[in-house]
Chain A
Amino acid sequence: MGQIHLEKVRKAFGDVVIIPELDLQIEDGEFVVFVGPSGCGKSTLLRLIAGLEDVTGGKIVIDGKDATTLPPAKRGLAMVFQSYALYPHMSVRKNIAFPLKMAGMDKAEIDKRVDYAAKTLNLDNYIDRRPGQLSGGQRQRVAIGRAIVREPEAFLFDEPLSNLDAALRVGMRLEISELHQRLKTTMIYVTHDQVEAMTMADKIVVLRAGNIEQVGSPLELYLHPRNTFVAGFIGSPKMNLLGGNEAAKYQAATMGVRPEHIRLSTADGAWKGTVKVSEHLGSDTFLHVESPVHDEPLTVRAGGEFPVHAGDVVYLTPEPDKVHRFDDKGLAMKGNGRAIG
């Protein structure tokens, strides 16, 4: 149980509209990621679902019940905050036990659940420490522990990994994914990092300025972006979006091709360009190529090592069946068009 339906949800602070009318269905057990650039309203949307903000209009239905005006505690949701929001004067045990204590559960049951949560999250050794004595990753786990003991209908994560260093982030990402596999509880996860979104989500909701740009599985979004915004946002490095002459060859206003879908050659190809920056990672080579076909450098990815350096001349050829076409409103067009020339 953990269906969340948003119906015509609207949020405005005074005259400033953060979220114009928005509909969204989140099914039981799904891992849904809200992703978008800063200020796109993704956190606000999460807080609306949590009940920390009141909706200006519309309905929030959780498990078939109208939860629009319910206080946060009554919605059966648990939230992990970006800052972890642990209680600094309480030990790890008391932090995790707090929601159960507030629910008036008896001591034996609380201990049992806290011990279980601590064991699942590898917190046994820190159970009597205070948050101030823990590392970032451990604090993060305590925050998750505090959320799971309640056995909520759904978990809400508000950019939970953004305060961790890169290595730890990858580890915690896996842990959260594993947690989802094990608990099979609905999870809603907010992030601005499209890598997190792609790796964790069953369903990604791409937001821009409070509007849903596209909803779909990570691969759907990767393969069939609905518009130029999604095309540019999903995928790393970013898709190259070209207008003008090149797009016209595909009978489109804008043509897009991902860095990994460009064939690279030092001999011949469709576009000639000069390497501006080359990034050699060993496993991949990323090139930023200046070319007369586009004002901004084109990004190209070659698998493995590709021995060119700044200043070298290279030729780029987009793979024709991997080209995305967009019309003058920025919306995706069907088919790959027919390349002329």
Chain B
Amino acid sequence: MATLHTKSAARAMMAPAVIVLLIWMIVPLAMTLYFSTLNYTLYNPFSTPFVGFENYSYFLTDPTFLAALANTLVLVLGVLAITVGGGILIALLLDQDFYGVNIVRLLVIAPFFVMPTVAALVWKNMMMNPVYGVIGQLLQSIGLAPIDWMTDVPLLSIVIIVAWQWLPFATLILLTALQSLSMDQKEAAEMDGAKALSIFWYITLPHMSRAITVVILIQTIFLLSIYAEILVTTQGGPGSQSTNITYLVAQQATSYGDIGAASAGGIVAVILANIVAIFLVRLIGKNLDA
């Protein structure tokens, strides 16, 4: 009896919070769903006739859509590869004992605190600018032609900038995992005749698998919605070479004033994100068990 009463009391107490959260989520989602069925443009916001799935077919058949989808995948996978790979290497390095390791650790984490727009602008103007950027200067000093990053390799530039921002996060998570590996296991492996590379492959890497899973899951969620970095650097261009789904959706609203198409795109993005999430959880989520 007591538990029954406690349960209903608890439900009543929790209800306000749950309801507020639900409204918070449901209202924007419902409005997006509703707008996606209207011919709603900012040029004529007073006439919004119902058009059914027309916005969806418009968005999905847009040739830019497939390009944006491919770009999104390249962006996510590219950044994941760099941050996980680089994160493991830097974590291994920072796990060593050397003079000033604490200061180095702090410095490595620093990029994470830089705002995305600021980071992107710094990279665009101070690093990657072909005339006065640091990379261009370096290339010129050894007699090579500078690269016009934002024009010639826009997507790679975005990948580099975003990877730079997320590398500290990956490094931090992986470093903590690495530090929890007991010395005994490494010594046992050493006694068992494992060389440094084998110890890494058979002992260290499996030990870090859970942390790697966490890094991949969290980063994927954020990387699917990269926007600011593209906005302040390439603006999705040249053409649509660096446009991802998020940027494409935003473009529908900001550049073309087409709220209906943008809403449809938003729903498509939500569905895609869920497919990716289910895929990821199925694929690597089992690492989180036990």
Binding site for B on A (CB under 8 A): 50, 52, 71-73, 77-79, 81-83, 85-90, 98-99, 102-103, 132, 146, 150
Specify the main secondary structure of chain A where it touches its partner. Answer: loop
Instruction: Verify A79–B188 contact, CB threshold 8 A.
Output: yes
Which A residue sits closest to B287, measured CB to CB?
A89
**Which of B110-118, B201-209, B254-262 is the interface stretch?**
B201-209
Instruction: Verify A99–B182 contact, CB threshold 8 A.
Output: no
Instruction: Verify B184–A73 contact, CB threshold 8 A.
Output: no
**A81-B187, A83-B184 given as contacts; is B207 within 8 A of A146 (CB)?**
no
* Minimum distance in angstroms from A48 CB to a CB of chain B: 13
Instruction: Verify B202–A98 contact, CB threshold 8 A.
Output: yes
Give Cα A103–Cα B206 distance, bound, in whole angstroms. 20
**Which of B132-140, B150-158, B189-197 is the interface stretch?**
B189-197
Give Cα A82–Cα B184 distance, bound, in whole angstroms. 9
Instruction: Verify A87–B202 contact, CB threshold 8 A.
Output: yes
* Minimum distance in angstroms from A75 CB to a CB of chain B: 9
Instruction: Verify A73–B192 contact, CB threshold 8 A.
Output: yes
* Minimum distance in angstroms from A4 CB to a CB of chain B: 15
Specify the main secondary structure of chain B where it touches its partner. Answer: helix
Instruction: Verify B194–A102 contact, CB threshold 8 A.
Output: yes
Instruction: Verify A72–B191 contact, CB threshold 8 A.
Output: yes
Give Cα A89–Cα B203 distance, bound, in whole angstroms. 8
B185 within 8 A of A: yes
Which A residue sits closest to B188, measured CB to CB?
A85
Which B residue sits closest to A71, measured CB to CB?
B190
**A85-B182, A87-B203 given as contacts; is B190 within 8 A of A73 (CB)?**
yes
Give Cα A88–Cα B210 distance, bound, in whole angstroms. 13
* Minimum distance in angstroms from B185 CB to a CB of chain A: 5
How many interface residues does B have (CB within 8 Å)?
19
* Minimum distance in angstroms from A93 CB to a CB of chain B: 14
* Minimum distance in angstroms from B187 CB to a CB of chain A: 5
Cβ-closest 6 pairs across A and B: A73-B193, A85-B184, A99-B192, A85-B188, A89-B206, A102-B193
Give Cα A150–Cα B192 distance, bound, in whole angstroms. 8
**A87-B202, A87-B203 given as contacts; is B209 within 8 A of A52 (CB)?**
no
Taking CB atoms, residues of chain B closer than 8 Å to A98 are 189, 192, 194, 202
Instruction: Verify B207–A72 contact, CB threshold 8 A.
Output: no
Given contacts A87-B202, A102-B189, A150-B192, 13 further A-B contacts (CB under 8 A): A71-B190, A72-B191, A73-B190, A79-B187, A81-B187, A83-B184, A85-B184, A85-B187, A85-B188, A87-B188, A90-B202, A98-B192, A132-B290
Give Cα A228–Cα B236 distance, bound, in whole angstroms. 84
Which A residue sits closest to B209, measured CB to CB?
A89
Which B residue sits closest to A79, measured CB to CB?
B191
B198 within 8 A of A: yes
Taking CB atoms, residues of chain A closer than 8 Å to B290 are 132
Which residues from 172 to 193 on chain B have a C-beta closer than 8 Å to any C-beta of chain A? 182, 184-185, 187-193
Give Cα A294–Cα B254 distance, bound, in whole angstroms. 95
Taking CB atoms, residues of chain A closer than 8 Å to B198 are 102
